[in-house]
Chain A
Amino acid sequence: MQKKLTERKTIHISHATSQQLNGLVFLLPWIIGFLLFFLTPIINTIIYSFNEVGVADAGGMSFKYVGLENYINLFTTEVSSKSQQFLRVLIDENTNIFVNTPLIVLFSLFSAILVNMNFKGRGIVRVIFFMPIVLGLKVVVNLTMVSTGGDILEASLSSAFDDQMVIGFLTSYTFLPREVMVFIVGIVNNIFQVISQAGVQTLIFLAGLQSINPSLYEVAKIEGATPYEVFWKITLPILSNITLFAFVYTFVDLFLASSISSEIFRFAFNRNNIGIGSALSVVYMINVLIDLGLLLLILSKVVKLGYENK
């Protein structure tokens, strides 16, 4: 009996350690990957960005420390493949992303609420609403786009619905200033980009909506809450974490789709200027992180986030 107890104890001690060891085994691929394909590349990129990188005689790389010269050159002398200043490119990308992110998140929340309702043919509608996961692939979007000449369909449509006419019509019948109308019409024209990016976020929101306990809605109904109140007091607070996730996801996704990656590759390998390409990479990375911090700051002011659940 005594012997058995001690045996059990040794097993018990090794359980915690074995849990730790087994966990480590399961995580090992990811940790190795993190070291090899994330941490060292980041450090190397930062090193490259402060150096003039050349090819040494032995076949390796030679470095010459140049300080901030790469960064200064990037913003003063170098231009993108569309011969724009890089400051300009970055500003364009950022405005684009800050305008589109809330639109995409709102649209996906809206469509998730729609497909969460009960109606006939919901299955088919859901299938269609998640199609953007497939149709929004960059390759597909590029291929289905009309690249040359005119799109005869677009032409016939736009002659029927002239932008300027719509803007004029709306400004004369609403009290909104013309600039706001131009902005809104621009957004509506942009609807296909918004839709094509919204597939995964709709999925995220639908999963979130389905995780809400239905008894909450029943209580609200009994207490006499209007649908409006139900949305603002129940649905949105519960979805706040998911909203945050959707925002971050959209943000990252839009940055991924930006044209910067081809610029980085062009600098580094077509023009053999690894230093400036690395400087651009670092600028880009810092840009994303700052934007994300800004976004979280804004969101934490607007939505009360339940961090404890994260």
Chain B
Amino acid sequence: MPLHNWIQCNEGNTEYVRKGNTKDEGKDDIKWIEIYDQYVQKYGLSDVYKRLLEVMKKKALYELEYVITKEKFKITEIELQEAKLKTMLSNNGKGITIEQSLIHLSKWLGYRLNPMKITVVEYFNTLKEYGKENKQK
């Protein structure tokens, strides 16, 4: 699967899961879930993503607690979590977009990586190596 399709699917456009001109719209989501599961199986979730999910979870739980208890303080807690999320999602934090990572990887490799051509597995493997290299440094 080209990395471009992966990025599109990640953004919710699961029709990019299709190969060629197949028109099996009903199964896009299922297929995407299967592919993503494969990814999780192979690489596991990233720490950043895990933290992101945890914060989101926390925020959701605070929201629900507010609905149940009507305690005004919960709103403050929610806002705190929202701020945290914002930071994590911005580039100032530890997370960067795939497109940004491609630039870094291209520089490291010395040639431009084309998301339309590079496969998802190649991308993640390169990323892994790049990570190792960086750690050694």
Asked if chains A and B come from one complex, the reply is: no
